[in-house]
């Protein structure tokens, strides 16, 4: 496929030979590690189904779609389970590395992410994200990898596309009017996908008008106001040197605005405020705001492009806590913003008396200072709220005594479920009574009105969070399973925490357990009777009325390039026993056209398991075949041979599976490998 100008080219330090050299080094190191592992031996690995990508990545309320899922160990997957009601699914067909699902979305489901698993006799898989959206959904159709083959799409729309092969680009042609502002929002990393894409806006002649990448983690975003009426082209370009069959994205081209943050971030019950929304694409006033909690109403009173003014009224009985809000437009909702309902009175000037809230705008190199009194032995809590609520401020807190000495400080607090947090939380017990000063400083080297923050100041209230060690629990018939429950004690909490489990199916019991006084964790013991593999149930674990949750990293790229979620409870599945497991000595194999190559595969056997194994491959490209190989009853290594025809097309197969089968029908596979045909 013909490439357009590479707007972004990443040059490795080793120059043009960097990739072959790096690949050779990695392969050689991995080979030495793997061969040493073959000699040392390892335990049998019981591998549950693992999901890595879904396409399409979402649907509208009321729609039924067929979705392709990629992964590993997916054979005999029989059920699809969503963690929340409103979306259901079924397995239509499948293999070890791929599934075809039918997913149904109820008509009343609100927009936002949903999470699903598949269930098989191997257990419950990890979760993938499936996003419910309000715009018309348009599927990408190939060929659309050049300017002259750009796919026409309507506006507004959510375009669902893939970049599964090396060299692939996606071009989309649309109409825009003079003076019109459109928001371009590409979701890949935020959907749990490993794609790192660049988004380019061209005019009809191919001239670049805008370009974006790495705005939201790896995802590009921009709003553009068009100078002329006419045709324009949006281009999605991968920034990877190699694409993957699972690379997928959703691109919104919409007129509804993007909401980043609100000033003030916190609202009091019974209040009426004039607020400012920050973001992009605010072009119309008079639009209503929709809130996730009843008793709050609001309307945009003016629009200023990157911001808008709004009038918001909060009922006197509004419940404290975090609330989501969106702008309602004729073409659908904006993305959600977040605010806090906080009953604490707003601090006056620079004096703090607990409880109190400070509402301000963070300015770089201009710290704000607040005076307060503390008693000996008193524990006070100072919490900064900014980046968790969409603002760009990076706050730090410190407490200074009357002599100017720092007695406590915090930059990045620990908030359950918040990844890459930049908001501070300072919990301090004072040893000396007297007057102190709290200093709030913004570390981000940019200043503007869109840096709102809230400071919450209060006395400590002992509390705790509970976390599960795993969200996909696997137990064998007549077996036991240990499950760790961890308590993060906050603000002086030390009391015992009795643990309760609900939702267990008949035939599975749990021993009583509690987290001892001052301790940080306990271990639950589940016991299973003679139940059939594949039985599954969603269970809940709690302590003192607090649910145990699990912080999850949804499948995606490395670093920050992945979606994160917090789910309550776990999926418990009765699984079949595992007699053997496989491990390839290499994670990538090179094969020359007309040639052959060998692949060593380690066989780990359970005690007394001596069955011979017959091997096959899944995912080999056309023109590549494998010899029929049977490993004897006592063999711990199998040598598999691949052959390529002389006319096979060169290229790369990223998801090749090695599968072994016993005479009695048990099937296991090694972690996937890559195959490069030169």
Q: What's the pLDDT tens digit per position in 542-589? A: 999 999 999 888 875 555 567 888 999 999 999 999 999 999 999 999
- Longest Cα–Cα distance of the chain, Å, equals 85
Given pLDDT bands bounded at 50, 70 and 90, which one contains residue 27?
Answer: very low
Pick the CATH number of 464-574 from 2.70.50.60, 2.60.40.10, 2.30.40.10, 3.90.180.10: 2.60.40.10
The per-residue pLDDT for 356 is 96
Supply the mean pLDDT for the chain.
91
- Kindly state the percentage of the chain with pLDDT values over 90: 85
- Bridge partners (DSSP) listed for residue 132: 59, 112
Residue extents of the structural domains in the chain: 50-132, 137-254, 258-341, 356-456, 464-574, 579-677
Is the pLDDT assigned to residue 22 strictly greater than 60? no
* CB atoms inside a 10 Å sphere around CB 551: 15
**Letter string b/e over residues 570-587, b meaning 16 or more CB atoms within 10 A of that residue's CB:** bbbbbbbebbbbbbbbbe
For residue 656, what are its two tokens? 């090749």
What's the whole-number mean pLDDT along residues 398-404?
A: 96
Domain 356-456 has CATH 2.60.120.380: yes
CA 425 to chain centre: 24
Matching CATH topology for 137-254 and 258-341?
A: no
pLDDT of residue 404 exceeding 60, the answer is yes
Q: To which H or E segment does residue 31 belong? A: helix 18-40
Half-sphere exposure of 482 (CA within 13 A, CB side): 4
Give dist(CA 274, CA 307) in Å, integer.
Answer: 13
Contacts for 339 with CB less than 8 Å, ≥ 6 apart: 262, 265, 266, 267, 322, 323, 325, 389
Averaged pLDDT, 598-608: 94
Q: Are 546 and 462 in contact (CB under 8 A)?
A: no
> Each residue of 50-99: pLDDT tens digit?
999 999 999 999 999 999 999 999 999 999 999 999 999 999 999 999 99
Going across the sheet that includes 379-385, the strands are: 356-361, 452-459, 379-385, 425-429
pLDDT at 447 over 50: yes
pLDDT at site 419: 80
User: Tens digit of pLDDT for each residue in 492-549?
Assistant: 999 999 999 999 999 999 999 999 999 999 999 999 999 999 999 999 999 999 999 9
Question: 275-331, pLDDT tens digit by residue?
Answer: 999 999 999 999 999 999 999 999 999 999 999 999 999 999 999 999 999 999 998
The mean pLDDT of 246-264, rounded to a whole number, is 96
Q: For residue 466, what pLDDT is reported?
A: 97
Which residues, at least 6 apart from 436, have a Cβ–Cβ distance to it below 8 Å? 371, 372, 373, 374, 399, 400, 401, 402, 407, 430
What kind of architecture, by CATH, is found in domain 258-341? Sandwich (2.60)
Cα–Cα distances in Å, from 184 out to 64, 223, 258?
26, 6, 10
Instruction: Compute the half-sphere exposure of residue 614: CA atoms within 13 Å on the CB side of its CA.
Output: 7
- Assign domain 137-254 to its CATH architecture: Sandwich (2.60)
CA-to-CA separations, 294 to 49, 92, 184, 320, 454, in angstroms, rounded: 40, 40, 31, 12, 23
Q: CA–CA separation, 435 vs 387, rounded Å?
A: 30
pLDDT in tens, 196-240: 999 999 999 999 999 999 998 899 999 999 999 999 999 999 998
Asked whether 420 and 453 are in contact (CB, 8 A), the reply is no
Q: How is residue 331 written in tokens?
A: 């073409």
Q: How far apart are CA 543 and CA 281, in angstroms?
A: 45
Q: Whole-angstrom Cα distance, residue 391 to residue 516? A: 40
Residue 610, pLDDT above cutoff 50: yes
Predicted local distance difference test score (pLDDT) of residue 418: 85
Preceding omega of 569 cis (within 30 degrees of 0) = no
Does the pLDDT value for residue 469 go beyond 80? Answer: yes
* Torsion-angle region of 417 (φ positive above 0: left; ψ -120 to 50: alpha; else: beta): left
- Strand runs labelled E in 330-394: 332-333, 337-341, 356-361, 368-374, 379-385
**Bridge partners of 252?**
158, 185
**What fold characterizes domain 579-677?**
Immunoglobulin-like (2.60.40)
Q: Who contacts 40 (Cβ-Cβ below 8 Å, separation ≥6)?
A: none
The CATH number assigned to the domain with range 50-132 reads 2.60.40.10
Q: What is the mean pLDDT of residues 144-167?
A: 95
pLDDT of residue 556: 58
Q: How many CA atoms lie less than 13 Å away from 650 in the CB half-sphere?
A: 4
With b for 16 or more beta-carbon neighbours within 10 A and e for fewer, the 603-637 pattern comes to: bbbeeeeeeebebbbbbbbeebebeeeebeeeeee
Query: Which residue in the block uniquely carries the two structure tokens 């990545």?
Result: 57
């Amino acid at each position: 496929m013909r490439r357009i100008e590479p707007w972004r080219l990443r040059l490795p330090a080793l120059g043009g030979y960097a990739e072959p050299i790096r690949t050779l080094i990695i392969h050689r190191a991995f080979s030495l590690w793997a061969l040493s592992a073959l000699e040392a031996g390892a335990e049998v690995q019981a591998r549950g189904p693992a999901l890595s990508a879904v396409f399409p990545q979402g649907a509208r309320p009321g729609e039924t779609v067929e979705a392709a899922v990629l992964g590993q160990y997916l054979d005999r997957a029989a059920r699809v389970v969503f963690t929340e009601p409103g979306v259901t699914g079924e397995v239509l067909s499948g293999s070890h590395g791929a599934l075809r699902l039918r997913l149904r979305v109820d008509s009343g489901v609100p927009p936002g992410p949903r999470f699903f698993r598949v269930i098989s006799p191997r257990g419950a898989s990890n979760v993938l994200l499936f996003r419910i959206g309000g715009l018309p959904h348009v599927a990408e159709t190939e060929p659309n990898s050049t300017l002259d083959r750009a796919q026409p799409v309507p506006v507004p729309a959510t375009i669902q596309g893939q970049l599964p092969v090396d060299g692939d680009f996606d071009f989309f042609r649309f109409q825009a009017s003079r003076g019109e502002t459109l928001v371009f929002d590409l979701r890949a990393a935020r959907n749990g996908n490993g794609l790192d894409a660049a988004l380019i806006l061209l005019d009809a002649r191919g001239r670049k008008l805008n370009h974006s990448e790495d705005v939201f983690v790896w995802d590009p975003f921009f709003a553009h106001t068009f100078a002329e009426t006419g045709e324009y082209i949006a281009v999605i370009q991968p920034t990877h040197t190699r694409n993957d069959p699972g690379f997928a994205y959703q691109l919104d081209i919409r007129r509804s605005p993007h909401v980043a943050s609100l000033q003030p971030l916190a609202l009091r019950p019974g209040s009426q405020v004039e607020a400012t929304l920050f973001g992009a694409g605010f072009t119309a006033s008079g639009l209503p705001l929709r809130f996730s909690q009843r008793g709050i109403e609001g309307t945009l009173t003016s629009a200023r492009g990157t911001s808008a003014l709004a009038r918001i009224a909060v009922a006197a009985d509004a419940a404290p806590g975090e609330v989501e809000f969106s702008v309602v437009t004729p073409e659908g909702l904006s993305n959600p913003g977040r605010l806090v309902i906080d009953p604490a009175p707003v601090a006056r000037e620079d004096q703090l008396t607990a409880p109190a809230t400070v509402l301000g705008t963070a300015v770089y190199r201009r710290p704000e200072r607040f005076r307060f009194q503390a008693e000996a032995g008193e524990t006070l809590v100072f919490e900064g709220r900014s980046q968790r609520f969409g603002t760009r401020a990076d706050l730090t807190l410190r407490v200074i005594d009357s002599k100017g000495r720092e007695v406590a400080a915090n930059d990045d607090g620990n908030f359950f479920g918040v990844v890459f947090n930049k908001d501070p939380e300072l919990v301090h017990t004072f040893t000396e009574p007297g007057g102190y000063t709290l200093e709030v400083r913004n570390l981000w080297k940019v200043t503007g009105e869109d840096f709102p923050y809230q400071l919450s100041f209060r006395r400590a209230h002992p509390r705790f969070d509970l976390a599960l060690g795993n969200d996909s629990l696997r137990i064998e018939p007549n077996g036991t399973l240990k499950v760790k429950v961890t308590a993060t004690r906050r603000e002086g909490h030390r009391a015992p925490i009795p643990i309760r489990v609900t939702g267990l199916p008949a035939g599975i019991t749990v021993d009583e357990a509690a987290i001892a006084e001052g301790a940080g964790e306990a271990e639950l013991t589940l016991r299973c009777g003679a139940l059939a593999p594949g039985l599954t149930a969603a269970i809940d674990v709690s302590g003192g009325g607090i649910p145990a949750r699990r912080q999850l990293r949804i499948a995606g790229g490395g670093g920050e390039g992945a979606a994160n979620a917090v789910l309550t409870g776990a999926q418990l599945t009765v699984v079949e026993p595992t007699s053997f497991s496989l491990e390839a000595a290499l994670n990538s194999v090179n094969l020359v056209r007309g040639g052959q190559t060998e692949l060593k595969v380690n066989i780990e056997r359970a005690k007394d398991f001596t069955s011979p194994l017959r091997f096959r491959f899944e995912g080999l490209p056309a023109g590549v075949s494998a010899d029929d190989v049977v490993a004897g009853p006592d063999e711990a290594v199998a040598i598999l041979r691949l052959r390529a025809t002389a006319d096979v097309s060169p290229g790369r197969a990223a998801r090749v599976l090695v599968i072994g089968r016993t005479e009695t029908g048990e099937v296991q596979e090694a972690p996937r490998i890559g195959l490069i045909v030169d």
